[in-house]
Amino acid sequence: MTIKKWVLLLVLFIGCLLNTSANEIIIKRDSQRISIGADLYYFIDNTKILGINEIEKETHFTKSSSSVPNFGVLNDAVWLKFTVINNSDDSHLNLQIDQPVLDNITLYTKLKNNTYSVSELGESFPFYKRLYDKDPSFIFNLVIPIGGKATYFVKVQSTDNIQLPIFIGSEKVILEASHKKFLISGLYIGIMLSMLLYNIFIYFTVRDKSYIYYAAYIICVILIQVSIQGFTFQFLWPNNSTLALYSPFTFTILVGITGLQFERVFLKTKEWMPKTDRFSIFFILLYLSAFMLALFGQFALSFRLIEVVASATSMFMFYMAVSISRKGYRPATFFLVAWSVFLVGIIIYTLKDFGILPYNDFTYYTMPFGSALEVTLLSFALADKINVFKKEKEQSQAEALKAVTENERLVREQNVDLEIKVKKRTEELELALTDLKEAQSQLVDSEKMAGLGQLTAGIAHEINNPINFVTSNIKPLELDILDLDTVISMYEELDLTRDIEPQITNIELFKSQIDIVFVREEIKSLLSGIGEGAKRTAEIIRSLKNFSRLDENDTKPVDLNEGLASTLVLVKSTFPDHMTVVKEFGDFPNVECLPGKINQVFMNLITNAVHAIKSKNAIDEEGVLTIKSWQDGEYVKVSIKDSGTGMPEEVKQRIFEPFYTTKDVGEGTGLGLSIVFRIIENHHGNIEVNTKINQGTEFIITLPINTKKTP
The 3 state secondary structure assigned to 620-648 is: CCCEEEEEEEEEECCEEEEEEEECCCCCC
| Residue 9 forms part of a structural domain | no
| Residue 113 forms part of a structural domain | yes
**Domain stops at, among 546, 563, 579:** 546
Measured in whole angstroms, how far is the alpha carbon of residue 423 from the centre of its chain?
Answer: 47
Identity of the amino acid at 33: R
d(CA 8, CA 605): 135
- Which residues span the domain enclosing 519? 428-546
The total number of structural domains in the chain stands at 4
The stretch 549-577 carries a mean pLDDT of: 77
| Residue 93 forms part of a structural domain | yes
**Domain stops at, among 381, 396, 411:** 396
User: Are 349 and 460 part of one and the same domain?
Assistant: no
| Residue 15 forms part of a structural domain | no
**CATH number of residue 590's parent domain:** 3.30.565.10
| Residue 411 forms part of a structural domain | no
User: Are 163 and 197 part of one and the same domain?
Assistant: no
Q: For residue 619, is pLDDT > 70? A: no
User: Are 382 and 249 part of one and the same domain?
Assistant: yes
φ and ψ at 342, to 5 degrees?
A: -65, -40
The stretch 362-373 carries a mean pLDDT of: 78
d(CA 421, CA 664): 43
| Residue 414 forms part of a structural domain | no
First to last CA, the chain: 137
The stretch 615-642 carries a mean pLDDT of: 86
User: Are 207 and 313 part of one and the same domain?
Assistant: yes
Name the region of 707 (left: φ>0; alpha: ψ -120 to 50; beta: rest): alpha
**Domain stops at, among 525, 546, 567:** 546
d(CA 71, CA 304): 14
Partners of 152 in the β-ladder: 82, 109
Q: For residue 171, is pLDDT > 80? A: yes
User: Are 94 and 53 part of one and the same domain?
Assistant: yes
User: Are 99 and 227 part of one and the same domain?
Assistant: no
d(CA 14, CA 17): 5
Cβ partners under 8 Å of residue 155, min gap 6: 55, 77, 78, 79, 80, 104, 105, 106, 108
| 527 in Cβ contact with 477 (< 8 Å) | yes
Instruction: Give the up-direction half-sphere exposure of residue 640: CA atoms within 13 A in the CB hemisphere.
Output: 21
Partners of 120 in the β-ladder: 106
Residue pLDDT, tens place only, 81-93 = 999 999 988 888 9
Please tell me the predicted confidence (pLDDT) of residue 257: 93
User: Are 198 and 150 part of one and the same domain?
Assistant: no
Q: Per mean pLDDT, which of 67-71, 351-355, 410-414, 613-617 is the most reliable?
A: 67-71
Please tell me the predicted confidence (pLDDT) of residue 683: 87
d(CA 7, CA 54): 34
| 321 in Cβ contact with 263 (< 8 Å) | yes
The stretch 122-127 carries a mean pLDDT of: 90
User: Are 456 and 565 part of one and the same domain?
Assistant: no
Question: Among 90-104, 272-286, 475-489, 685-699, which is the least confidently predicted range?
Answer: 475-489
| 341 in Cβ contact with 373 (< 8 Å) | yes
User: Are 612 and 509 part of one and the same domain?
Assistant: no
d(CA 675, CA 661): 13
Q: For residue 552, is pLDDT > 60? A: no
Please tell me the predicted confidence (pLDDT) of residue 12: 39
Q: For residue 377, is pLDDT > 60? A: yes
User: Are 140 and 201 part of one and the same domain?
Assistant: no
pTM more than 0.75: no
User: Are 132 and 275 part of one and the same domain?
Assistant: no
User: Are 567 and 670 part of one and the same domain?
Assistant: yes
